[in-house]
Structure 1
Amino acid sequence: MNDQAETLRLKMMQSKGRTARSLAVISGKGGVGKTNFIVNFASSLRAQGKSVIIVDMDIGMGNVHILLGASAKYGLREYLTGERTLEEVVAESRLGLNFICGGSGLETVLEWTESRFQRLISAFETLQQQYDYILFDMGAGASESAIELILSVDEIIVIATSEPTSITDAYSMMKFICLRDPEKKFFIVNNRVLPKEDGNEAFTRLQFAMRKFLNKETTLLGALPEDAAVHKSVVAQQPFVSLYPNATISRRMNAITANYISSGTDIDSKETSTFLGQLKKLFARGRG
């Protein structure tokens, strides 16, 4: 544990002189594999040489640490209240992936005091200097607290299955966000695709609705099949891309990651992140 703490301290002291991209992973409904996706997406990014941290914003239902086979004594709430330092709330899995648990103190950002909000900004400023990507695992649905953060991030990945309820709820979520920020960029991943299903069905239907009703384009990153390796990796509390690197789903996940990096969103090829600036604007409007 002392070695791990020292490693984290060194990371916090280092500066890459560039700004991390911020990415929210969302879904319209629960049970579509959103958290499993973000854990494996982060692991795949890390395997491709990117430094990544996951911030678990699924209030009350966060389970990033469970899927990583790790534990976290403290979360972002303890940092915001001043009980713990940022170093103390950044946890590390046994495979070296960093994450931060959320907490009930994150529910209504716009009602925070100035000092607490400034503490949040300070944390994100530090993380943006230390990582290539900050991935936010958002809770299912469109709560006001979730929308506040989602509207600030650079990009959004939407996880959907071919089930009609998943597609309908995902569209409602995307529409709500798009009406607040028409410029927000959406990526779509079709998850849990069955062998006889069209792997692009969810994307095709979502893209059609977004084009017809909102004149908005979306980008397909890829599709992930229903695979026994997922269940086995959950039981083993390890990302399937690490535990079963040759499985079909792992190869598909790596392809999705490569598609994302080559889409123009890579930290080395895209303009500076506007994440903190957008978050500050939201806070200012909420208090005004």
Structure 2
Amino acid sequence: MHDQAEKLRRQMLKAQEPLARSIAIVSGKGGVGKSNFSTNFAYALRSYDKKVLIIDMDIGMGNIHILLGMTPNNSLRDYLSESKELAEVINKAPEGLDFISGGSGLNSVMEWSEEMFERLITAFEYLQTEYDFILFDMGAGATQHVIDLVLAVDEIIVISTTEPTSITDAYSMMKFICLRDPDKQFHIVGNRVSKNDEGTDTVTRLQFAMRKFLDKETTILGLLPEDGSVHKAVLAQKPFLLLFPNAPISKKIKSIASTFVEFETTVNLENKQRFLGRLKNMFRKGHG
């Protein structure tokens, strides 16, 4: 009886713990600096004493580990196939950041076996209580495995440059997701901005289009300037925020992280708790 009571007490305490905010970082097309943003944004959140996990979901093309200068031995695929335990696929990056490599060979979650999906749910049930933020660095474009997971997370950060094709593709991605889940929370970041006015025009155009055509309000997190520090950091395989903490882009991404952390007050706890429920429902539909 004592053991049962102790187990119940631990479960109740666990249930009261705050749950991580799950965020998908997406772009309408490749080559806009999405993974670089994900990596440095994670470190910017770490500077606010937040526990952060990045999950690289750009299957087969993931490069988070390259930007971190690391070579992961295990991946999410190894955990789902039961060849490794969850702790073995969580990689420890410098300065307290954790990340999980997606690995090659994973397709839409609709194609995963029931056993794999149960292991995924078990992992997220644990990870949601261990971190403040779980960032999913998604593959570019609206492929099926991107949409599968994006529709389950709490919030979405959309990365766009000032190029017309990038803006158009970013809007198409947001529209595609919004029509399937009108309640999804979107945040917009303008990247590789040469002129501040041009960058402001880009993000406000996206915000206006979402409001006018989809009756959807979005949040503008900020603009990241074109900065030579980024290229130097990529060559050094270190995040620019760590290598050049005083660079203009480093100061900007810290500001974006600050805005995002403050946005916490408007994120409903019930929505966080629905993350796993949405994943489960999505899996049932795919196997119905």
Same topology, TM > 0.5: yes
CA distance in 2, matches of 1:225, 1:159: 13
**Residues 67, 173 of structure 1: CA spacing in aligned structure 2 closer, same or farther, 3 A cutoff?**
same
CA distance in 2, matches of 1:201, 1:33: 19
**Residues 265, 106 of structure 1: CA spacing in aligned structure 2 closer, same or farther, 3 A cutoff?**
farther
Q: CA deviation at 1:41?
A: 0.4
Q: Give deviations 1:94-115, integer Å, cap 9, x for gaps.
A: 3331100002343121122211
Equivalent in the alignment of 1:259? 259
Classify the secondary structure of the residue corresponding to 2:158: strand
CA distance in 2, matches of 1:265, 1:84: 37
**Residues 265, 188 of structure 1: CA spacing in aligned structure 2 closer, same or farther, 3 A cutoff?**
farther
CA distance in 2, matches of 1:284, 1:79: 21
Q: Give deviations 1:179-222, integer Å, cap 9, x for gaps.
A: 10001010000000003652212211111221221111111000
- Relative to its length, the structure with more helix (as a share) is 2
Equivalent residue letter for 1:41: F
Classify the secondary structure of the residue corresponding to 1:166: helix
Equivalent in the alignment of 2:127? 127
Equivalent in the alignment of 1:278? 278
Contact 1:90 1:99 in 2 (8 A): yes
CA distance in 1, matches of 2:176, 2:72: 33
Q: Share of identical aligned residues, percent?
A: 58
Equivalent residue letter for 1:235: L
Q: CA deviation at 1:75?
A: 0.4
Please identify runs of 4+ aligned residues in structure 1 that moved more than 4 A. none
Contact 2:186 2:218 in 1 (8 A): yes
Gaps of 5+ in 2: 1-13
Contact 1:20 1:133 in 2 (8 A): yes
- Superposition map of 1:118-267 within 5 A: 118-195=118-195, 197-264=197-264
CA distance in 1, matches of 2:108, 2:265: 29
TM-score, normalised by the number of residues in structure 2: 0.91
Classify the secondary structure of the residue corresponding to 1:104: coil
Q: CA deviation at 1:20?
A: 0.8
TM-score, normalised by the number of residues in structure 1: 0.91
Q: How many residues align?
A: 273
RMSD between superposed Cα atoms in Å: 1.7
**Residues 135, 270 of structure 1: CA spacing in aligned structure 2 closer, same or farther, 3 A cutoff?**
same
Gaps of 5+ in 1: 1-14
Contact 1:70 1:92 in 2 (8 A): no
